[in-house]
Amino acid sequence: MHDTQRPMYQEQLSMFISEITGYVELHASKILPTTFPIMEPEIIKELTQTATNIFKDEPSLLETNSDIVIVGDLHGQVFDLIRVLDTCGMPDKQKYLFLGDIVDRGEFSIETIIIVLLLKVIWPDQVLIIRGNHEFRSLCSNLGFGA
Protein backbone atom coordinates (compact mmCIF):
# COMPACT_ATOMS: atom_id res chain seq x y z
CA MET A 1 0.00 0.00 0.00
CA HIS A 2 1.22 3.46 -0.79
CA ASP A 3 1.55 5.67 2.27
CA THR A 4 -0.68 8.15 0.47
CA GLN A 5 -3.57 5.64 0.68
CA ARG A 6 -3.33 5.16 4.45
CA PRO A 7 -5.13 8.43 5.39
CA MET A 8 -7.99 7.59 3.02
CA TYR A 9 -8.40 4.13 4.57
CA GLN A 10 -8.12 5.55 8.10
CA GLU A 11 -10.85 8.06 7.26
CA GLN A 12 -13.10 5.29 5.90
CA LEU A 13 -12.53 3.19 9.03
CA SER A 14 -13.25 6.15 11.27
CA MET A 15 -16.55 6.78 9.47
CA PHE A 16 -17.63 3.15 10.00
CA ILE A 17 -16.51 2.92 13.61
CA SER A 18 -17.71 6.35 14.77
CA GLU A 19 -21.27 5.60 13.66
CA ILE A 20 -21.82 3.06 16.43
CA THR A 21 -18.93 3.29 18.91
CA GLY A 22 -20.33 4.01 22.35
CA TYR A 23 -23.82 2.99 21.31
CA VAL A 24 -23.26 -0.62 20.29
CA GLU A 25 -25.95 -2.08 22.52
CA LEU A 26 -28.53 0.47 21.38
CA HIS A 27 -27.77 -0.30 17.73
CA ALA A 28 -27.60 -4.06 18.28
CA SER A 29 -31.00 -4.04 19.98
CA LYS A 30 -32.35 -1.80 17.19
CA ILE A 31 -33.28 0.97 19.61
CA LEU A 32 -31.11 3.25 17.46
CA PRO A 33 -31.15 2.84 13.68
CA THR A 34 -27.83 1.80 12.18
CA THR A 35 -26.58 3.47 9.05
CA PHE A 36 -23.10 3.00 7.69
CA PRO A 37 -21.33 5.27 5.23
CA ILE A 38 -21.68 4.41 1.58
CA MET A 39 -18.33 3.55 0.06
CA GLU A 40 -17.89 4.14 -3.63
CA PRO A 41 -17.48 0.87 -5.55
CA GLU A 42 -14.08 2.05 -6.81
CA ILE A 43 -12.83 2.45 -3.23
CA ILE A 44 -14.10 -1.01 -2.28
CA LYS A 45 -12.41 -2.49 -5.34
CA GLU A 46 -9.16 -0.70 -4.48
CA LEU A 47 -9.43 -1.84 -0.85
CA THR A 48 -9.89 -5.48 -1.82
CA GLN A 49 -7.01 -5.28 -4.32
CA THR A 50 -4.73 -3.69 -1.73
CA ALA A 51 -5.64 -6.37 0.82
CA THR A 52 -5.14 -9.10 -1.79
CA ASN A 53 -1.64 -7.80 -2.53
CA ILE A 54 -0.81 -7.83 1.18
CA PHE A 55 -2.09 -11.41 1.51
CA LYS A 56 -0.02 -12.51 -1.50
CA ASP A 57 3.13 -11.17 0.15
CA GLU A 58 2.48 -12.94 3.45
CA PRO A 59 3.83 -16.42 4.14
CA SER A 60 1.33 -19.26 4.35
CA LEU A 61 2.56 -19.95 7.89
CA LEU A 62 1.85 -16.97 10.10
CA GLU A 63 4.05 -16.59 13.16
CA THR A 64 3.73 -14.20 16.06
CA ASN A 65 5.77 -13.68 19.19
CA SER A 66 3.48 -11.19 20.87
CA ASP A 67 0.20 -11.14 22.74
CA ILE A 68 -2.65 -11.44 20.30
CA VAL A 69 -6.43 -11.12 20.38
CA ILE A 70 -8.02 -14.09 18.61
CA VAL A 71 -11.37 -13.34 16.96
CA GLY A 72 -13.44 -16.22 15.65
CA ASP A 73 -16.55 -16.58 13.52
CA LEU A 74 -18.01 -13.10 13.20
CA HIS A 75 -20.46 -14.24 10.50
CA GLY A 76 -21.34 -10.67 9.57
CA GLN A 77 -22.04 -9.59 13.15
CA VAL A 78 -20.54 -6.12 12.93
CA PHE A 79 -21.63 -5.24 16.47
CA ASP A 80 -19.56 -8.13 17.84
CA LEU A 81 -16.56 -6.82 15.90
CA ILE A 82 -17.05 -3.32 17.32
CA ARG A 83 -17.40 -4.77 20.84
CA VAL A 84 -14.08 -6.61 20.44
CA LEU A 85 -12.34 -3.47 19.16
CA ASP A 86 -13.86 -1.38 21.98
CA THR A 87 -12.76 -3.90 24.60
CA CYS A 88 -9.30 -4.80 23.30
CA GLY A 89 -8.25 -1.65 21.46
CA MET A 90 -7.39 -0.89 17.88
CA PRO A 91 -4.59 -2.74 16.07
CA ASP A 92 -2.16 0.13 16.52
CA LYS A 93 -1.99 -1.00 20.16
CA GLN A 94 -3.02 -4.67 19.96
CA LYS A 95 -2.30 -7.48 17.50
CA TYR A 96 -5.29 -9.42 16.10
CA LEU A 97 -5.84 -12.82 14.52
CA PHE A 98 -9.16 -13.31 12.73
CA LEU A 99 -9.94 -17.02 12.38
CA GLY A 100 -12.14 -16.64 9.31
CA ASP A 101 -15.88 -16.97 8.87
CA ILE A 102 -16.03 -13.19 8.80
CA VAL A 103 -19.01 -13.06 6.43
CA ASP A 104 -22.30 -14.86 5.94
CA ARG A 105 -25.44 -15.27 7.99
CA GLY A 106 -25.30 -11.87 9.69
CA GLU A 107 -27.12 -8.75 8.64
CA PHE A 108 -23.93 -6.74 8.10
CA SER A 109 -21.53 -9.09 6.27
CA ILE A 110 -20.39 -6.44 3.81
CA GLU A 111 -19.74 -3.88 6.53
CA THR A 112 -17.95 -6.47 8.67
CA ILE A 113 -15.57 -7.56 5.92
CA ILE A 114 -14.93 -3.96 4.89
CA ILE A 115 -13.94 -3.04 8.46
CA VAL A 116 -11.68 -6.11 8.78
CA LEU A 117 -10.02 -5.34 5.43
CA LEU A 118 -9.56 -1.69 6.42
CA LEU A 119 -7.88 -2.86 9.63
CA LYS A 120 -5.64 -5.16 7.57
CA VAL A 121 -4.49 -2.54 5.07
CA ILE A 122 -3.94 0.14 7.73
CA TRP A 123 -2.04 -2.20 10.10
CA PRO A 124 -0.87 -5.12 7.91
CA ASP A 125 1.58 -6.48 10.48
CA GLN A 126 -0.88 -6.17 13.36
CA VAL A 127 -3.90 -7.83 11.72
CA LEU A 128 -3.65 -11.46 10.64
CA ILE A 129 -6.51 -13.21 8.87
CA ILE A 130 -7.06 -16.89 8.23
CA ARG A 131 -9.61 -17.69 5.57
CA GLY A 132 -12.58 -19.62 6.91
CA ASN A 133 -14.94 -21.92 5.07
CA HIS A 134 -17.50 -19.10 4.82
CA GLU A 135 -15.06 -17.11 2.68
CA PHE A 136 -15.20 -19.76 -0.04
CA ARG A 137 -17.61 -18.92 -2.85
CA SER A 138 -19.50 -22.22 -2.74
CA LEU A 139 -20.52 -21.89 0.90
CA CYS A 140 -21.10 -18.17 1.22
CA SER A 141 -23.17 -17.95 -1.96
CA ASN A 142 -25.38 -20.79 -0.70
CA LEU A 143 -26.00 -18.91 2.54
CA GLY A 144 -26.69 -15.51 1.04
CA PHE A 145 -23.34 -13.73 0.71
CA GLY A 146 -22.33 -14.08 -2.90
CA ALA A 147 -21.70 -12.02 -5.95
Question: How far apart, in whole angstroms, are the C-alpha atoms of residue 75 and residue 106?
Answer: 5
To the query of whether residue 134 is one of the catalytic residues in this protein, the response is yes
Question: How far apart, in whole angstroms, are the C-alpha atoms of residue 118 and residue 126?
Answer: 12
From 2, 27, 75, 134, the catalytic residue: 134
Q: CB count, 10 Å around CB of 109?
A: 22
Question: How far apart, in whole angstroms, are the C-alpha atoms of residue 57 and residue 40?
Answer: 26
The catalytic residues are 134
